[in-house]
Amino acid sequence: MTTSRILLIILLVLAGIFAIFITYFYTPPVKTAQQNAKALIGGPFTLVDHHGKDVTDKDFRGKYMLVYFGYTYCPDVCPTELQIMSDALDQLSEKTLKAITPIFITVDPIRDTVDIMAQYVPAFHENMIGLTGSIEQIKDVKKAYRAYGAKEQQEEGADPEAYLVNHTSYIYLMDRQGEYLTHFRSMTDPEVMAKKLEEVIK
């Protein structure tokens, strides 16, 4: 083997080592789906609780938030999901329960007034907070949480006050700083939810 050929092989090996070094030490880390979701879900909001008090996201700092979007006139999905949330909360240790604020945010602010929320929310859990607000405020919080909520088109002649609302049916778990941790899909078993909450909240 000639000297020039040996030098060429050495140069190629060195170039390969250098490429590996650059790739390992200088390639920016790729965000995981969980990290991306953390940046995308959640954000500041200003709403009114079911006691008529103005609240913002900062009022819940220091505690985990278990957040569900729905509406009080929902005939089936919302009461089912809120009951699942309530059943899960009832299975938690006292320490974990104290660390969580369960929150129900309406997607139907026109009908879900403070008075209506005050009648509805406590029926599910004594710790649950119901939040409503103006149409614009609800629009903003839905956008922050990437939550969907829109009135169904009614048939001609139907009662305009008896509309249904299509909406997201996830329960979001937010950390003590209001950042996304995970979510629970519709019809999650309360025992499974409680176990996950105990694992996360230590």
Distance CA 194, CA 131 (A): 23
Provide the pLDDT for residue 2: 59
Look at residue 148 and tell me whether its pLDDT is greater than 60: yes
Provide the pLDDT for residue 51: 98
Q: What is the CA radius of gyration of the chain?
A: 25
pLDDT category, 21, cuts 50, 70, 90? very low
Mean of all residue pLDDT scores within the chain: 86
Provide the pLDDT for residue 162: 84
In words, the CATH class of domain 46-200 is: alpha beta
Q: Is 3 or 113 the better-scoring residue by pLDDT? A: 113
- Mode of pairing for the β-strands spanning 100-106 and 64-70: parallel
Residue 87 burial (CB < 10 Å; 0-12/13-18/19+)? middle
Provide the pLDDT for residue 7: 47
pLDDT tens-digit series, residues 149-196: 988 888 877 888 889 999 999 999 999 999 999 999 999 999 999 999
Helix axes 190-200, 77-90, angle to 10 degrees: 50
Provide the residue ranges of all domains of the chain, joining segments of one domain with +.
1-33, 46-200
Closest of 47, 67, 49, 77 to residue 164, by C-alpha: 77
Provide the pLDDT for residue 87: 98
Structure tokens at 140: 């903003």
pLDDT tens-digit series, residues 36-84: 555 589 999 999 999 999 999 999 999 999 999 999 999 999 999 999 9
Structure tokens at 129: 């907070």
Q: What is the DSSP letter of 157?
A: T
Provide the pLDDT for residue 122: 96
Angstrom CA distances, 113 to 23, 54, 104, 171, 195, stand at: 56, 13, 13, 22, 34
Distance CA 39, CA 144 (A): 10
